[in-house]
Chains A and B, each alone.
Chain A
């Protein structure tokens, strides 16, 4: 029965985050299954990027977390598909299957294909991973960001905000409500964060750690005293 549904349009919005180097994803971007499509350009634009689907330019540039947060309010569909449009690893079938599973209610959020670099990982393992493992008891989120993030829109509507990995906040927001509702698929292929971001990893990761603690305090997962101690430890 589901096979027959495959070619129909979904109530899903595609948000492609790009720094202006789209290669492999052209065919996915042209796909008609999405009712709303936007490319979000978060690079520093000197000249305009020309593309067939509408491009939205985000101010301030280079802040991926802000671009994700803003694009949530830009689209109206219930399912959001965030892809790193510069990715070399995303397959069309992976995206389609994940949307189908989410529409069927198997899970509420799906993450795959790490978007990472060695410096980012070092910083992430030092600062964020201990908080996730020891304080919150979450073991399977091993990378600083992901190239493919699919989820229900309501979990992306957050007061908190972080500079790079907004998907972590949305993910935790889902996890705090229901532990089994998230799927993180591990893949061998990984995208690398461009060299452009060398030297600012610590700022991004610290901002993520702070937002995670704040979110946990707001959702009453940890006590405020402990949270304040954690944040003081970061500074």
Chain B
């Protein structure tokens, strides 16, 4: 197998160490515009080529024989321009790193086979930590873009005493292929008979469409509890005034 890697210094360690584990050892060519990458690719014993502009890559005739291209530059624009340059050599698998989720369609239209969304990982992690009581949906594996995972951290909605068994019923009803897990704040699994409490995580795993539908239905359930709670609260006020 022949592997072509366009690399920036930011991604040297994760990518080269993974490629190094391949057996039997492939022929690897690393290209980069950073000097640091040259040192590391020498350490791993890979062929290295420095490039200053993309035209130099477009002139690499030997790319015709390569089986996989990994594009890990630190800018979306650089990745796109390299895809454009090597497209003529029709490398069967092109893996690329995406930094801004909005640019995904440009990558698809240029012909990237797998898109690793680095942006989404950061976004969903920070979102889940900072915004409790909202759903965070993300696709963790770029090879399986339809497999999605939805996470919900409970904070204020723990007030409503929602039983987990009710959520499970909803999941069974609306998303037959969606799996539900509940964890407490320490990362231990919570049994089905208990009630949602502060710091709990609800995790749903499933295929994109049915997962989205299930998330919507569970959110509806939460809203219903919210409404019931609000009504009860209003009634107590009324009782105080007139009763």
Contacts and interface: CB of A to CB of B under 8 A. Distances in A.
A62 B54 CA distance: 26
Contacts of B102: 41, 45, 48, 55, 57
Interface stretch (A71-79, A178-186, A192-200, A207-215): A71-79
B99 A74 contact: no
Interface string B57-86: 000000000000000000111101100110
Contacts, number: 41
Interface of B: 53-55, 75-78, 80-81, 84-85, 99-100, 102-103, 105-106, 109
A59 interface: yes
Contacts of B75: 70, 73
A157 interface: yes
Interface of A: 41, 45, 48, 54-59, 70-71, 73-76, 157
Contacts of A41: 102
Given A73-B81, A76-B54, A76-B81, A56 B109 contact: no
B54 A56 contact: no
Contacts of B99: 59
Contact of B76 (A48, A54, A56, A76): A56
Contacts of A45: 102
A45 B105 CA distance: 16
Contacts of B55: 76
Contact of A71 (B77, B84, B109): B77
Given A54-B106, A54-B109, A73 B77 contact: yes
20 contacts: A45-B102, A54-B109, A55-B102, A55-B106, A56-B76, A56-B103, A56-B106, A57-B100, A58-B77, A59-B100, A70-B75, A73-B53, A73-B54, A73-B75, A73-B77, A73-B78, A74-B77, A74-B80, A76-B54, A76-B84
Please report whether the interface of chain B is mostly helix, strand, loop or mixed according to DSSP.
helix
Contacts of B103: 56-57
B47 to A, nearest CB: 24
Contacts of A74: 77, 80-81
A229 B204 CA distance: 62
B77 A56 contact: yes
A54 B81 contact: no
Contacts of A56: 76-77, 80, 103, 106
A54 B105 contact: yes
A108 B105 CA distance: 34
Contacts of B53: 73, 157
A74 B110 CA distance: 12
A48 B101 CA distance: 10
Contacts of A48: 102
B77 A70 contact: yes
Given A41-B102, A76-B85, 10 more contacts: A45-B102, A55-B102, A56-B103, A57-B102, A58-B100, A70-B75, A71-B77, A73-B77, A73-B81, A74-B77
Contacts of B109: 54
Nearest to A48: B102
A71 B75 CA distance: 11
B35 to A, nearest CB: 14
A105 B100 CA distance: 38
Give the most central of B99, B103, B109: most A CB within 10 Å. B103
A41 B105 CA distance: 14
Nearest to A71: B77
A157 B103 CA distance: 23
B152 to A, nearest CB: 22
Nearest to A47: B102
A71 B105 CA distance: 17
A21 B121 CA distance: 30
Nearest to B101: A57
Contacts of B106: 54-56
Nearest to B75: A70
Contacts of A73: 53-54, 75, 77-78, 81
A55 B101 CA distance: 12
